[in-house]
Chains A and B, each alone.
Chain A
Amino acid sequence: MDTATTTCSAVDLAALLSSSSNSTSSLAAATFLCSQISNISNKLSDTTFAVDNTYLLFSAYLVFAMQLGFAMLCAGSVRAKNTMNIMLTNVLDAAAGAISYYLFGFAFAFGTPSNGFIGRHHSFFALSSYPERSGSDFSFFLYQWAFAIAAAGITSGSIAERTQFVAYLIYSTFLTGFVYPTVSHWFWSSDGWASASRSDNNLLFGSGAIDFAGSGVVHMVGGIAGLWGALVEGPRIGRFDRSGRSVALRGHSASLVVLGTFLLWFGWYGFNPGSFLTILKGYDKSRPYYGQWSAVGRTAVTTTLSGCTAALTTLFSKRLLAGHWNVIDVCNGLLGGFAAITSGCAVVEPWAAIVCGFVASWVLIGFNLLAKKLKYDDPLEAAQLHGGCGAWGLIFTGLFASKQYVNEVYSGDRPYGLLMGGGGKLLAAQIVQIIVIVGWVTVTMGPLFYGLHKMNLLRISAEDEMAGMDMTRHGGFAYAYNDEDDVSTKPWGHMAGRVEPTSRSSTPTPTLTV
């Protein structure tokens, strides 16, 4: 936090004042004036803390609202018989994530001083002596927690409708408590080996990777983890028929999908602009109206333009490809545009954000076609959207980052976008980021999912999958629109069977009609 500290030297000031009076009273006058100025300086410091914390806290609340948005998006995108399951995973991502991130995730991510790989200062574990001497405050912890649970939430979309709940708990804790914090350490902490805000000037390629709000750190991590989960456990029953043709397993509520998408959009205004962490900072003395608050606003604008362009592009391309205007596809396209701009939102011009969104839409469509060809099933298109559009976002930043903005956000005179004349170093750093994220997440989450699979803890049985997980594991169907649907009023409740994760025994035959 850059608070203006004006130091006032009473001796120097006294010398200036002593022209017509004796030196003692000059010194007294000077002391008085200096103490007044020092008071002002303290007030300014307090004010800045209050403003910046208010800004960061409310941004954190917005990012938290994305958890709700993703829960609704997931719920609407799966079949009704699995609704309670997917929503419970979203609630638990947040809850389990709070505990694991508090205990050690935050320390792994931002514990300082530390090495380039992982954070490790004792005062950060369980916030033991935080925030003293840390340079940040509780608002920063809460903000980073909200990001951490977003990454875990993404992965749950890829493995929806066929994963045992125990597997969710395990992967989620591991991802939020270790895999994700390590990645965020590399790219966001002041010690990270690839961080653009490294304090020791030993920047990767003289640039550091620029991933402002996490196209890579959050979206790629969540998406690649989801990719491995979905690959290891295989497609949902019925998703690809015997001849290999893909069958759409449509979600049960478009209203929930749109509700979720809009809430994610709403929350993105905390996710992207909030990543500045502070708002009260002037950039240019000659233009007092231009400061970090302007950059914050510009970031909200680039975010908006990218998502909107992606949505429109998806609308028209799907009209051409599929023959109708599809709100679900448009929602996914919109989110792909946001995932892509997340990396460079702070350092590109608004017109460039339009390019970002346009390409993101095609990237998503392309990855979806590829997934279909490879018989890869992802109920939320999470790997394609967050992984694919996230990677495009990093490349986009390497191409379009503007010189002025890069140097304002990350101090120094450093490489910027290739297409803006800034050379290839930034792009190289971005590509390195893509490669290491894919590699790291693959070697951590891949074996985890594989191990769970080998221990029969990953996928549910075929009978459970046909009946729906809500019925067999979560106490019953999510919806009961008519009294007759409420099976609990019947003496021989279907739902009361205790079903162990590994049992392949017969599951109750559902008698409900929707």
Chain B
Amino acid sequence: MSCSATDLAVLLGPNATEAATYICGQLGDVNNKFIDAAFAIDNTYLLFSAYLVFSMQLGFAMLCAGSVRAKNTMNIMLTNVLDAAAGGLFYYLFGYAFAFGSPSNGFIGKHYFGLKDIPTASADYSNFLYQWAFAIAAAGITSGSIAERTQFVAYLIYSSFLTGFVYPVVSHWFWSVDGWASPFRTDGDLLFRTGAIDFAGSGVVHMVGGIAGLWGAFIEGPRLGRFDNGGRAIALRGHSASLVVLGTFLLWFGWYGFNPGSFNKILVTYETGTYNGQWSAVGRTAVTTTLAGCTAALTTLFGKRLLSGHWNVTDVCNGLLGGFAAITGGCSVVEPWAAIICGFVAALVLLGCNKLAEKLKYDDPLEAAQLHGGCGAWGLIFTALFAQEKYLNQIYGNRPGRPHGLFMGGGGKLLGAQLIQIIVITGWVSATMGTLFFILKKMKLLRISSEDEMAGMDMTRHGGFAYMYFDDDESHKAIQLRRVEPRSPSPSGANTTPTPV
């Protein structure tokens, strides 16, 4: 709304120039105040969403801790802390630049290294922090697949590479304004006239983390004892269901930053002066997220009751998370009832992928590849089936006749774009992370020795057992302090396994 004092003066009559200037000045001030208010509100919204996504790191740490055996608890939790820490540094130095540096080419970004030139008109520090929280989430996912048998050096290397390069490149393709497959492209040359729709990252985050984990776990092989000589699967149960539930709920809580926060702004008008604005879409996104997770949880509850005969809380937790991973791609562009379908199918996808993993003797302590990779891929397909045209137009720019959900009468182009996304993510992550894990293995930097694995990594590499519930446990001190090099055999002798009290 611009006020031209000259035009207004003419309308007000001969001596009205000063009046017009005054009035326009006032209106200009009001306008500026609104602009300021909008930035303040949007930054508040995005920052608090970023803090929520960060709390998912805590949630995943607890989920991981509870899902592994007690003797490896400190190890897995340290990897989660370090994902966040190393990720912070590398994403700041170049990860964010590769992801969102603009203007750039379709493959990779090339501005904003070390946050140079930030803030811009379109991105402030809040945006960086939010994206950092996403980046470390992807790296965290991978740590679950290779838990309980991976050398710590390998964790540091893969995590930095994933957060600093592999993941940012993928996010550039699908989320930046330059990305070759991005629906935000401003030059009009959208993939299949739509771009791939992955609102909060079923593919960009969950598939990337899951496929990377898949290669790590596949290359280093199953944990000792996971499949016996007859090829039968033995469950290596986690040590604390309480931590699993704590972690799952924290992830749920944080998902309210992950999905609705991906709008980046909340103060955007859709229909002037009505309730119909981006704030409503944000609320709707929180609702679709909730419904998908809850449906997946219930489906898993009853599915597992039929399959195994009991009500299993850790399976229900995994099912819940699979529902969330799936809805993440289309949470903002589907109706709430469609989210129920998403969750229902996600639970079945997870059950199926787990059965397949068992058949192929693939061991993943957190079911990360099955959950994030499998349910993430389903989420992209789901979006292609159920995306609503009006929501796509509100979020990705008004393009009449744009491709949308196949079941909503939108044709098959969006599905084509989503399938391309699944294929290129699988290919890119396999080529980069698969190679990295293979090299680490060849250099004997990947898996720990079998003696270390039997003793537990906390004892041999992390200073001691995570828990000490009785004073007599102090007797373990003698074993804790030995320096164990990555390639040396574990401390010899009969004391490799601590005697529990």
How many angstroms between the C-alpha atoms of A67 and B245 in the bound complex?
11
State how many angstroms separate the Cβ of B434 from the closest Cβ of chain A: 31
Contact at B12–A29, with CB atoms within 8 Å? yes
Please tell me if the beta carbons of B242 and A98 are within 8 angstroms of each other in the complex. no
A481 — which chain B residues lie within 8 A by C-beta?
A: 70, 239, 467, 469, 500
* Least CB distance, B184 to chain A, in whole angstroms: 21
CB distance from B222 to the nearest CB of A (A): 14
Chain B residues, CB < 8 A from A97: 294
A99 x B340 contact (CB < 8 A) = yes
Determine the interface band of chain B, counting residues with CB < 8 A from chain A.
35 or more
Q: Is the CB of B291 within 8 A of A99?
A: yes
Residues of A within 8 A of B52 (CB): 61
| Chain A 242-278 near chain B by CB (<8 Å), digits 1 or 0 | 0000000000010010010000000000000000000
Asked if residues A75 and B245 are in contact (CB atoms below 8 Å), the reply is yes
Min distance, Cβ B7 to any Cβ of chain A, angstroms: 8
Whole-angstrom distance between the Cβ of B70 and the nearest chain A Cβ: 5
User: At the interface, yes or no: B492 with Cβ under 8 Å from chain A?
Assistant: no
- B219 on the A face (CB < 8 A): no
In the complex, chain B residues whose CB is within 8 Å of the CB of A49: 275, 277, 279-280
Contact of B301 with A92 in the complex, beta carbons under 8 Å? yes
Residues of chain A within 8 A of B236, CB atoms compared: 486, 488-489
Q: Chain A residues near B253 (CB, 8 Å)?
A: 61, 64-65, 68
Of A17-25, A216-224, A295-303, A405-413, the one with at least 4 CB within 8 A of chain B: A17-25
Kindly list chain A residues whose C-beta atoms are within 8 Å of the C-beta of B357.
none
Contact of B13 among A20, A72, A140, A489 (CB under 8 A): A20
Q: Which residues of the partner chain A approach B311 to less than 8 Å between Cβ atoms? A: 88, 165, 473-475
Residues in chain B near residue A83, CB distance under 8 A: 241-242
Per-residue interface assignment for chain A, residues 98 to 114, with 1 indicating a CB less than 8 Å from any chain B CB and 0 otherwise: 11001000000000000
- Shortest C-beta distance, A193 to chain B (Å), equals 28
Which residues in A have their C-beta under 8 angstroms from that of B238? 480
Does B283 lie within 8 Å of A84, measured CB to CB? no
> Are A64 and B252 in touch, CB under 8 angstroms?
yes
Instruction: Tell me the bound Cα distance from A29 to B283 in angstroms.
Output: 40
Identify which of A42, A68, A137 contacts B279 (C-beta below 8 A).
A137
Report B16 CB to chain A, min CB distance, Å. Answer: 8
Enumerate B231-255 residues with CB–CB distance to A below 8 Å. Answer: 234-242, 245-246, 248-250, 252-253
Residue of B27, B69, B249, B272 most packed against chain A (CB within 10 A): B249
**A68 lies within 8 A of B23 (CB):** no
Say whether, besides A21-B12, A57-B260, A481-B70, A45 and B267 are in contact (CB < 8 Å).
no
Q: Are A84 and B241 in contact (CB under 8 A)?
A: yes
Q: Which of A10-44 contact B (CB under 8 A)?
A: 17, 20-21, 25-26, 28-29, 32-33, 36, 39-44
Report yes or no: B242 in contact with A473, Cβ–Cβ below 8 A.
no
* Contacting pair B283 A53 (CB below 8 A): yes
**Which of A17, A71, A139 has the most B CB atoms < 10 Å from its CB?**
A139
List chain B residues, Cβ under 8 A from A484: 500
A53 contacts which chain B residues (CB < 8 A)?
Answer: 266, 279-280, 282-283
A431 within 8 A of B: no
Known contacts A95-B297, A96-B294; A475/B13 CB under 8 A: no
Are B273 and A87 in contact, CB atoms less than 8 angstroms apart? no
Q: A476: CB under 8 A from chain B?
A: yes
In chain B between 447 and 501, which residues have their CB closer than 8 angstroms to a CB of chain A? 467, 469, 497, 500
Contacting residues, chain A, for B467 (C-beta < 8 A)? 481
Scan A41-81; emit 1 where CB is below 8 A from any B CB, else 0: 11111110111111001101100110110011001000000
Q: Which residues of chain A have C-beta atoms less than 8 A from B44's C-beta?
A: 54
From A52, A60, A68, name the one whose CB has the most chain B CB atoms within 10 angstroms.
A68
B309 interface hit (Cβ, 8 Å): yes
A127 contacts chain B at the CB level, 8 A cutoff: yes
Q: Which residues of B in the span 316-334 have a Cβ within 8 Å of any Cβ on A?
A: 316-317, 320
A178 at the interface (CB under 8 A from B): no
CB distance from B498 to the nearest CB of A (A): 8
Nearest A residue (CB) for B38 = A47
Tell me if B286 and A488 are in contact (CB < 8 A): no
Tell me whether A241 is interfacial, beta carbon within 8 Å: no
Give A100 Cβ to nearest chain B Cβ, in Å: 10
Interface residue A91 (Cβ < 8 Å from any Cβ of B): yes
Chain A nearest Cβ from B109, distance in angstroms: 29
Question: Which residues of chain A have C-beta atoms less than 8 A from B297's C-beta?
Answer: 91-92, 95
The reply on B423 being an interface residue by CB < 8 A is no
Q: A21-B13, A68-B249, A499-B309 are in contact. Are A99 and B295 (CB under 8 A)?
A: yes
**Complex-state Cα separation, A481 to B274, whole angstroms:** 57
B364 nearest CB across to chain A (Å):
17
Chain B residues near A85: list those with CB within 8 A: 313
| Given A53-B279, A91-B320, A480-B239, A142:B287 Cβ within 8 A | yes
**If A17-B12, A91-B245, A91-B248 touch, does A43 touch B313 (CB 8 Å cutoff)?**
no
Roughly how many angstroms separate A495 CA and B38 CA in the complex, as a whole number?
57
Counting from the closest, the 10 A-B pairs by CB-CB distance are A138-B283, A21-B13, A498-B309, A53-B279, A68-B249, A98-B294, A29-B11, A50-B267, A95-B294, A478-B241
Question: Can you name 18 A-B residue pairings with CB atoms under 8 Å?
Answer: A28-B11, A45-B273, A46-B272, A49-B280, A50-B45, A51-B41, A58-B48, A64-B256, A71-B245, A71-B246, A75-B245, A84-B314, A95-B298, A138-B286, A480-B238, A483-B71, A498-B309, A499-B310
20 more A-B residue pairs beyond the given contacts A25-B12, A96-B294, A479-B241, with a C-beta to C-beta distance below 8 A:
A25-B11, A29-B11, A40-B30, A50-B266, A52-B279, A53-B283, A54-B279, A71-B246, A84-B241, A84-B313, A88-B313, A98-B295, A99-B294, A131-B275, A142-B286, A475-B314, A476-B237, A479-B240, A480-B239, A488-B234
A→B interface (CB under 8 Å): 17, 20-21, 25-26, 28-29, 32-33, 36, 39-47, 49-54, 57-58, 60-61, 64-65, 67-68, 71-72, 75, 83-85, 87-88, 90-92, 94-99, 102, 126-127, 131, 137-142, 145, 165, 253, 256, 259, 470, 473-476, 478-484, 486, 488-489, 495-499
